[in-house]
């Protein structure tokens, strides 16, 4: 029976492929215009590279693409991460059969002290990465991930210190809201969502790039708190 | 005029702020989805007349289309976003009282986001943006399927997650190939240049995209996840999944095939698949004893009918398919919502446990019957008008191939009639089981009766006056079929 089903599936796929080729509708004019495409591809990169700094004032062109030209995708991607965190919390909190709690062995003094020493430094590095996202490689997602690694370290090294998920929830909500509100201000001011409406500043300084650094900070906080809340939920410390 | 992008931005902002509201006031989050969807419904409906004149192209970040992401709020997009908002609003009202256990705040957040995802899918004009919204739609539905947390729903969620993730990866590979071939992500830009790439490269990317979106659209043989997922989810979510989510998958397939590729030559193959989907769905539904699994399989059957209409590639065929999209969304949402409280009261999902409900919960049973009759295609309900239009479209093609397939599809409708009439017979003409609980005599609360009643009223109203939607359907079909004007609208300004 199983073989029959798989054979019939194969037959359907084979039929589909042959039908598609027999039609030979695709590319009716052949590849004679292929030259135009190569040109098109260069055009996108070239345009962003040559005019990105002038249009957005951000030294890191990748930041302009992520937050401005394709900022709407970024808003969606932040949402995808948000959904993953919320969805995980739903599945963990409603699970009927709770696994037996295993008492965690406290970490050694060396690890514990190392964690307390490193945690603020990791937060600082993460914040540096997302605040300078418009100038140097890195940005909101990367900085947020570094911040979250600090919380992971707390989970590993300081078992006694439970991570409070309410703090994550507040940060997550407010930073997400900040992103949407900044985007909407662009719509209100210039009639286009995510418009870079602030002055661009002088290039390659901290205060440049208009809204890009502000949005990057919001993304960094959001990603950090989302990943943090995932860690808090998985560690079972969250209510 | 308000910008159509608010249809995405405002509910998204509300979803972000909902957890905060939940911390401040425990009861507040349950009203947020209804507010968000009411806003979307009002905006969508108010924009529809403008979109019927000319599609509204919305740029983001202030740059002209190919250089940044843009939305295309045409007749098709706004018609579907109105439908999403309407069903979403009714389900949100239903969910206020229905969802009492579990992580309720998170349920309401995810239920907004699943609708934001669907709205984004139907409005976007950028193929990568389509993927992003598709992911928003899919990932929130994986979590919601597992909401009750018992082993069956977690298993269904995991199954859906695995198959959906494979489908999404296929989509991503397809988009990668497209970007490699064209160096562009705007659908209109790609559509304008599609003939400049060899047909083999196009075929490979198209195959990846159709397979990937086909998983969500539940086209045979990619629909193994659906019966489990739709039956294990809370009934309110089943209504969204069956009424909206799979339609977003169908929309994505149609947009890719018609607008981006203009690939008419694969349509006979798609038509064959659609009829296989229809027959398999209806036959599986016929043999079910679990009411929610039965409704889920019947959704597969109706998907087959929709794809069949789309595969005709004629204006009437596509309009008919869109009409079935509307009629199925209304009827299936109604059936899931009505059966939700019946299951809650009887404590069982067996079809036989619904026996005698006609006298115990008369209003719910009456609405359920309206939904069932509409799906079967009995006049004067909307299902009749939509199925009749499919028949007319198939005969209009004057193609033996489509007429033969139509005959097979109508056999599917007969099977559908058999199992729905069996349920309705049980509701009214069979005695209630001996050990029936006393609470089965209680009608659901007003927050559930109103959505169910509104859906039943809409099914009758649109069934009696199909003219209410006919103009929008024609324009929407044209939006899908007329590639040249789509490209011109986007790239022209």
Domain-embedded: residue B396: yes
Residues A182, A189: Cα–Cα separation, whole Å: 11
Domain-embedded: residue B349: yes
Q: Which residues in chain B are closer than 8 Å to A77, comparing Cβ atoms?
A: 132
Residues B220, B239: Cα–Cα separation, whole Å: 21
Q: Which residues in chain B are closer than 8 Å to A38, comparing Cβ atoms?
A: 183
Calculate what percentage of chain B has a pLDDT beyond 70.
100
- The pLDDT, as a whole number, for residue B425 is 94
Mean pLDDT of B198-208: 90
Exposure class string for B234-260: b at 16+ Cβ within 10 A, else e: bbbbbbbbbbbbbbbbbbbbbbbbbbb
Give the three-class secondary structure for B58: strand
Q: Give the helix ranges, DSSP H, for B195-313.
A: 199-217, 226-232, 235-240, 246-254, 267-286, 291-311
For residue B96, what is the enclosing H or E element?
helix B75-98
Q: Do A196 and B62 touch (CB under 8 A)?
A: yes
Q: Which residues in chain B are closer than 8 Å to A73, comparing Cβ atoms?
A: 69, 128-129, 132
* Model pLDDT for residues B342-361, shown as the tens digit of each residue: 999 888 899 988 888 888 89
Q: Do B149 and A94 touch (CB under 8 A)?
A: yes
Short-list A159, A126, A151, CA closest to A141: A126
Q: Which of residues 320-349 of B touch A (CB under 8 A)?
A: none
Least confident of A26-40, A158-172, B50-64: A26-40
For residue B72, what is the enclosing H or E element?
strand B70-73
Domain coverage including residue B347: 275-477
Domain-embedded: residue B112: no
- The pLDDT, as a whole number, for residue A33 is 41
Nearest neighbour of B106 by CB, restricted to A15, A89, A95: A89
Q: What is the DSSP string of A167-229?
A: HHHHHHHHHHHHHHHHHHHHHHHHSSBT---S---STTSSS-STTHHHHHHHHHHHHHHHHHH
For residue A121, what is the enclosing H or E element?
helix A109-131
Residues in Cβ contact with B416 at an 8 Å cutoff, skipping those fewer than 6 apart: B282, B285, B298, B301, B375, B376, B377
Confidence of residue A10 (pLDDT cuts 50, 70, 90): confident
Mean pLDDT of B115-142: 96
Residues A222, A148: Cα–Cα separation, whole Å: 10
Short-list A175, A174, A214, A208, CA closest to A194: A214
- The pLDDT, as a whole number, for residue B407 is 94
Give the three-class secondary structure for B74: coil
Sign of the C-alpha dihedral, residues B220, B222, B223, B224? positive
Domain-embedded: residue B415: yes
Domain-embedded: residue B429: yes
Length, in residues, of chain A:
239
The Cβ of residue A47 has, within 10 Å, a number of other Cβ atoms equal to 15
What ipTM goes with this model? Answer: 0.93
Q: Do A27 and B102 touch (CB under 8 A)?
A: no
Residues A153, A121: Cα–Cα separation, whole Å: 12
Q: How many helices (H) and strands (E) does chain B have?
A: 21, 2
Q: Do A195 and B143 touch (CB under 8 A)?
A: no
Domain-embedded: residue B493: no
Q: What residue of B is the nearest CA neighbor of A87?
A: B143
* Model pLDDT for residues B426-476, shown as the tens digit of each residue: 999 988 887 777 777 888 999 999 999 999 999 999 999 998 898 899 999
Interface check B286 vs A, CB under 8 A: no
Peptide bond into B221 cis (omega under 30): yes
Per the structure, the count of domains in chain B is: 1
- Which residues are registered as beta bridge partners of A193? B60
Q: Do A89 and B272 touch (CB under 8 A)?
A: no
Q: Do B147 and A23 touch (CB under 8 A)?
A: no
Residues A79, B40: Cα–Cα separation, whole Å: 19
Domain-embedded: residue B297: yes
A-B contacts at Cβ under 8 angstroms: 229
Q: Do A173 and B113 touch (CB under 8 A)?
A: no
The label of the residue with tokens 């398999």 reads B280
Domain-embedded: residue B179: no
**CB contact at 8 A, B373 and B443:** no
- The pLDDT, as a whole number, for residue A238 is 41
This prediction's pTM:
0.93
Residues B73, B134: Cα–Cα separation, whole Å: 17
φ, ψ for residue B474, nearest 5 deg = -60, -45
């Amino acid at each position: 029976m199983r073989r029959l089903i798989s054979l019939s599936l194969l037959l359907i796929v084979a039929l589909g492929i042959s039908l598609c080729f027999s039609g030979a509708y695709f590319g009716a004019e052949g590849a004679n215009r292929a030259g135009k495409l190569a040109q098109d591809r260069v055009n996108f990169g070239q345009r962003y590279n040559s005019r990105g700094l002038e249009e957005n004032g951000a030294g890191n062109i990748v930041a302009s693409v992520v937050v401005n030209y394709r900022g709407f995708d970024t808003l969606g991607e932040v949402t995808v991460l948000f959904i993953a965190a919320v969805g995980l919390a739903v599945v963990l909190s409603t699970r009927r059969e709770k696994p037996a709690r295993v008492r965690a062995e406290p970490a050694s003094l060396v690890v514990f002290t190392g964690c307390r020493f490193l945690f603020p430094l990791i937060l600082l590095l993460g914040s540096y990465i997302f605040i300078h996202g418009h100038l140097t490689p890195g940005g909101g997602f990367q900085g947020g991930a570094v911040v979250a690694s600090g919380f992971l370290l707390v989970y590993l090294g300081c078992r006694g210190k439970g991570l409070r998920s309410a703090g994550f929830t507040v940060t997550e909500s407010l930073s997400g809201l900040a992103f949407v509100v900044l985007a909407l201000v662009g719509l209100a001011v210039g009639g286009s969502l995510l418009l870079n409406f602030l002055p661009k500043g002088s290039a390659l300084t901290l205060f440049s790039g208009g809204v890009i650094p502000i949005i990057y900070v919001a993304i960094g906080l959001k990603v950090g708190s989302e990943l943090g809340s995932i860690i808090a939920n998985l560690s079972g410390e969250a209510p | 005029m308000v910008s159509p992008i608010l249809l995405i931005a405002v509910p998204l902002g509300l979803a972000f702020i909902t957890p905060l509201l939940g911390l401040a006031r425990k009861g507040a989050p349950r009203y947020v989805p209804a507010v968000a969807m009411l806003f979307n419904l009002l905006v969508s409906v108010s924009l529809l007349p403008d979109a019927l004149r000319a599609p509204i192209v919305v740029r983001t970040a202030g740059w002209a289309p190919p250089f940044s992401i843009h939305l295309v709020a045409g007749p098709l997009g706004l018609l579907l976003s109105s439908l999403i908002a309407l069903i979403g609003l009714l389900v949100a009202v239903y969910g206020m009282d229905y969802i009492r256990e579990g992580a309720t705040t998170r349920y309401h957040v995810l239920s907004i986001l699943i609708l934001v995802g669907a709205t984004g899918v139907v409005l976007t004009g950028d193929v990568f943006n389509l993927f992003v919204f598709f992911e928003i739609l899919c990932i929130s539905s994986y979590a919601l399927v597992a909401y009750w947390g018992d082993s069956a729903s977690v298993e269904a969620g995991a199954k859906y997650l695995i198959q959906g993730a494979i489908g999404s990866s296929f989509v991503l590979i397809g988009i990668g190939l497209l970007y490699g071939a064209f160096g562009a992500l705007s659908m209109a830009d790609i559509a304008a240049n599609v003939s400049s790439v060899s047909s083999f490269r196009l075929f490979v990317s198209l195959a990846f995209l159709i397979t990937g979106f086909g998983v969500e659209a539940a086209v045979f043989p990619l629909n193994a996840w659906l019966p489990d997922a739709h039956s294990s989810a809370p009934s309110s979510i089943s209504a969204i999944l069956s009424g909206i989510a799979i339609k977003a998958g169908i929309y994505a397939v149609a947009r890719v095939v018609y607008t981006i590729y203009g690939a008419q030559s694969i349509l006979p193959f798609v038509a064959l698949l659609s009829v296989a989907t229809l027959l398999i769905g209806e036959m599986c539904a016929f043999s079910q004893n679990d009411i929610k699994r039965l409704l889920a399989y019947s959704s597969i059957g109706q998907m087959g009918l929709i794809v069949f209409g789309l595969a005709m590639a004629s204006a009437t065929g596509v309009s008919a398919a869109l009409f079935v999209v509307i009629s199925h969304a209304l009827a299936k949402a109604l059936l899931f919502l009505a059966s939700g409280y019946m299951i809650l009261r009887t404590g069982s999902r067996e079809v036989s446990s619904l026996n005698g409900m006609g006298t115990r919960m008369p209003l719910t049973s009456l609405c359920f019957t309206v939904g069932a009759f509409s799906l079967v295609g009995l006049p004067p309900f909307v299902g009749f008008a939509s199925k009749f239009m499919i028949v007319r479209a198939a005969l209009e093609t004057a193609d033996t191939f489509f007429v033969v397939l139509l005959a097979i599809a109508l056999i599917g409708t007969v099977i559908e009639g058999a199992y729905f009439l069996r349920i309705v017979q049980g509701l009214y003409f069979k005695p209630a089981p001996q050990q029936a609980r006393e609470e089965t005599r209680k009608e659901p609360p007003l927050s559930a009766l109103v959505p169910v009643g509104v859906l039943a009223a809409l099914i009758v109203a649109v069934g009696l006056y199909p003219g209410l939607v006919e103009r929008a359907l024609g324009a929407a079909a044209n939006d899908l079929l007329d590639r040249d004007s789509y490209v011109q609208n986007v790239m022209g300004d």
